Structure formats: C-alpha cells, structure tokens
C-alpha cells in the first residue's frame, strides 16, 4: 500500500526512506539505518522544500560531513542581482553546500525564484528582512499577517530553510535590557523584531503564533533555522545571560516543531573567545536536544576586519570538532562592505578548510582519505597529483607556476635542500644506504 508523508522527519518516523534520504546516503558514510533514525529524532535535518524541484538534497547533523553555507544578496547601496547570481555560481563551483539569500532591496521574489530554478543546493532566506522590503512599511506598521504572508511566499517560492528569530520573546528582550552589552543586538532579524516589539508593545509574532509558522512549514517541508537574535557581536558579550536565555527558548520551540513533524536547525554565535567555543557547542546540544547546530564562525577575536574569514575559520574548526554541524561562511569583507566575488571565494575556502579540519578531529569515517592521497603525492613529488588533491587546484597550480625551480622535482622554497628528494634519492642506492647504517 502506498504510504504518504508530509516532511522528511515524518517520513523517517513512518519508516519511509525518501529520495532525498537516498541522495544524502550517496554522499555520506553513515549507514542507512542510522540516517533514518537520526532524521526521525531530529538529530539530522534534510532541508528539502517540495517546490525546489532540482534540489540535490544534503543532510545536516550528527555523523555527517560538516556543511558550509554561503550568504549573498543585494543591499540598497549595491543592488545587482546578476552579481549575486554570479556569487551563487561561485558557491557551486567551489563546492559550498548551501546558499542563503539575504537581499534587502529590489525585486527579491524574482531573484529567489531564479535561485531556486538554477541552484541545486539547499537555499535559505530570512523572511523578516523581506517583510520590510516587500511591504515598504515602517517597522511598527507591519501587521501579524504581513509577517506570515512573507513566510508563505518564501515557502511557495521553494526555499528549503528559513531563519526565524522566534526565540527573542519579550522575556529575552527584558533580559538584554537588564544585562547591558558592549555591542547590544547585532542580528539584523533580531533587531527588527526587537524594534517591532518595543514600538507596538506586542509579543514576538513568531513566538506567540509559532503553531501558525509550523503549519506553513509542514505543508511545504520547510526546515526552520531558529535564529539567534541575541547572538554576541563582541567577545565581551559571549555566553551572557540573554544569549543563554534565548537558547533555552529555542530548545523549547524545537520540541514543539518536532511534534508537528517540522525539521529544525539551531543557529549559534557569533563572536566567541576560543576557550568558550566548546562550551557553547555542548550547551546548545544539551539545551536543544541534539538538534543540528549552525554557527556563524564563531569569530574568536574582534580586531581582524579584513581577515575575519581567518578568525571565523579558527572558531569554525573548533566548533565543528566539538559537534557543530553547519558553518556559515564569513568573508574578508565582514563588518566592512558587501563582499565581492573574490571575497566570496576566500570565505568559501576558509570555511571548507575549517569544516574539513573539524571532520578530521571528529574522526568522521573517510574524512582522512583525501589527506592521505595528498601525502602520498607529496612523498613521491608528484606535482600534478598534488594539484588534483588540493582543495583549490587552480590556486595551487598558479602558485607553483609563478615560481619555477631549475629542478622540476622540487619547489623554489627548498631547492637542493628538499628533504623528500634527498631521502628518496638516498633510498635508490640501497647498497650505500645499507653500508652507511651497518654495524
């Protein structure tokens, strides 16, 4: 008998292995049984909107490769949807796992539809931004229906996961007022909802009417990425009372979503000093019942504008090692400007390296295989194989070609002092090697 399901988590609970689960299984080393059980429990999410017809589904969560997301989108000052589409193509070229459209100007719906039609990886958005853009209203004039109509539009457009800052309720808003911060609220979505609550006197619409949100998401199988509206934007603000209070609320909302067969990802900080990264990951996993964890960075210092892809990669690698499942990339342009195409590439590569380093540390099955291939190529001084193994073959090859050695076996760093070549050449003369170390 044909069995139906509404969402990926509903299918897993009914013992139905969906086509999207098959796609995830083909790209991971997890067993079929473990995948289905973890999707059923909510420990793995497979964002896969029913209207995203060309999607090649990916899983986010326990036992899977750490995924990375690329943010893009236009602003009022830099408003070229073609340029942002080129960034989406770069994301595909450099093997990002997801794209989020954060556009806040222009014909956002047309661009979303184009993304969904042309981009086969999972796509996310932040409907709160788009509500202001779509309606053109001042924040305090946004109605309850305005907020939810935007969510429905994004769901109908085929968006796979939506960031919703439902945890920033009035209680959490009070917490940030009585626990002063150096940088206050740095989440755009969080700031918009905080302003709306302050000016209208109302509760957060997505918290108060969370069931309405769940009904929309269940109907299209949209994964909710529960946003951290109170994430720290400064090292000093990390792990403070408002952040943790919101996280507790996100854990409560997670259970509600799972009861309605809606998949959940939890978003996390933010700016976090190195020694607090592990604690933040473990606390999220505890309070949010092992739901997949999606972190922005975290950035481990505040003083590196122009290099924040590096500060983010340091924190991201550590977070992934301790159980974070999804890294939102950060580019060198963070805190400074809308990123260029080159910034996007740098951010992707830094995040991919961080994610892979985390997978190595976690002991993920098969994670070390490409490193072993690279090491064998280096040991044999096989330069073409080294390029093929590199995370960015184009850049590695360009560096090599820009400084050619007289002896093509080596590079211009070591030349005749190349340790690998010396030991290799010594090994070719087995008799002399044996004589040299005999007796």
436 is in an annotated binding site: no
71 is in an annotated binding site: yes
Angstrom distances, CA of residue 406 to CA of 362, 409, 411, 415, 423: 42, 9, 9, 8, 19
Cβ neighbours, 10 Å, residue 347? 28
pLDDT digit string, tens, across residues 227-277: 999 999 999 999 999 999 999 999 999 999 999 999 999 999 999 999 999
352 is in an annotated binding site: no
pLDDT (average), residues 378-400? 96
Q: What residues contact residue 174 under an 8 Å CB cut-off, 6+ apart?
A: none
pLDDT at 332 exceeding the cut of 80: yes
pLDDT (average), residues 310-323? 98
107 is in an annotated binding site: no
pTM: 0.95
**Res 427: pLDDT:** 76
pLDDT digit string, tens, across residues 85-144: 999 999 999 999 999 999 999 999 999 999 999 999 999 999 999 999 999 999 999 999
172 is in an annotated binding site: no
Domain ranges of the chain: 8-362, 368-402, 404-439
369 is in an annotated binding site: no
217 is in an annotated binding site: no
- CA–CA gap between residue 52 and residue 113 (Å, rounded): 10
pLDDT (average), residues 284-294? 98
429 — pLDDT class (breaks 50, 70, 90): low
Angle at 377 between CA 374 and CA 382, to 5 degrees: 140
32 — pLDDT class (breaks 50, 70, 90): very high
Strand, helix or coil for residue 145: helix
Angstrom distances, CA of residue 127 to CA of 40, 100, 104, 113: 27, 11, 10, 14
231 is in an annotated binding site: yes
165 is in an annotated binding site: yes
Residue ranges of E strands in 212-320 = 223-226, 264-268, 293-296
418 is in an annotated binding site: yes
Helix axes 81-93, 108-118, angle to 10 degrees: 30
85 is in an annotated binding site: no
Strand, helix or coil for residue 98: strand
**Res 1: pLDDT:** 42
For 8-362, give the CATH class. Answer: alpha beta
428 — pLDDT class (breaks 50, 70, 90): confident
CB contact at 8 A, 166 and 207: yes
294 is in an annotated binding site: yes
229 is in an annotated binding site: yes
411 is in an annotated binding site: yes
3 — pLDDT class (breaks 50, 70, 90): confident
């Amino acid at each position: 008998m044909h069995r139906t399901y509404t969402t990926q988590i509903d299918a897993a609970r009914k013992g139905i292995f969906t086509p999207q689960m098959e796609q995830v299984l083909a790209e991971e080393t997890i067993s079929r049984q473990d995948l289905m059980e973890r999707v059923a429990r909510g420990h793995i999410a497979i964002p896969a909107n029913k209207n995203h017809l060309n999607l090649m589904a990916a899983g986010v969560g326990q036992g899977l490769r750490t995924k990375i997301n690329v943010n893009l989108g236009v602003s009022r000052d830099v408003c070229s949807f073609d340029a942002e589409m080129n960034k989406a193509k770069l994301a595909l070229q450099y093997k990002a796992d997801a794209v989020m459209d954060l556009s806040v100007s222009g014909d956002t719906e047309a661009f979303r539809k184009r993304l969904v039609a042309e981009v086969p990886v999972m796509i996310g958005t932040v409907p709160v931004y788009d509500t202001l853009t779509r309606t053109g209203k001042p924040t305090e004039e946004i109605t309850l229906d305005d907020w939810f109509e935007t969510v429905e539009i994004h769901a109908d457009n085929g968006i796979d996961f939506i960031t919703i800052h439902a945890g920033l309720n009035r209680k959490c808003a009070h917490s940030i007022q009585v626990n002063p911060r150096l940088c206050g609220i740095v989440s755009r979505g969080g700031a918009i909802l905080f302003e709306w609550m302050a000016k209208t006197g109302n509760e957060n619409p997505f918290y108060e009417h969370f069931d309405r949100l769940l009904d929309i998401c269940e109907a299209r199988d949209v994964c909710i990425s529960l946003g951290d509206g109170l994430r720290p934007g400064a090292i000093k603000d990390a792990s403070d009372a408002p952040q943790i209070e919101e996280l507790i609320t996100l854990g409560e909302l997670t259970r509600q979503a799972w009861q309605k067969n809606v998949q959940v990802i939890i978003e996390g900080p933010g700016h976090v000093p190195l020694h607090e990264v592990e604690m933040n990951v473990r606390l999220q996993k505890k309070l949010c019942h092992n739901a997949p964890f999606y972190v922005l960075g975290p950035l481990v210092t505040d003083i590196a504008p122009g290099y924040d892809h590096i500060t983010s990669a340091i924190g991201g690698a550590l977070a992934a090692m301790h159980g974070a499942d999804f890294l939102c990339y950060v580019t060198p342009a963070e805190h400074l400007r809308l990123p260029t195409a080159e910034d996007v590439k740098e951010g992707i590569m830094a995040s991919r390296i961080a994610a892979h380093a985390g997978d190595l540390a976690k002991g993920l099955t098969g994670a070390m295989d490409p490193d072993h291939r690279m090491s064998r190529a280096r040991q044999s001084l096989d330069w073409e194989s080294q390029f093929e193994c590199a995370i960015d073959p184009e850049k590695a090859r360009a560096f090599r070609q820009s400084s050619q050695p007289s002896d093509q076996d080596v590079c211009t760093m070591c030349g005749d002092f190349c340790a690998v070549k010396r030991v290799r050449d010594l090994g070719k003369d087995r008799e002399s090697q044996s004589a040299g170390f005999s007796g």
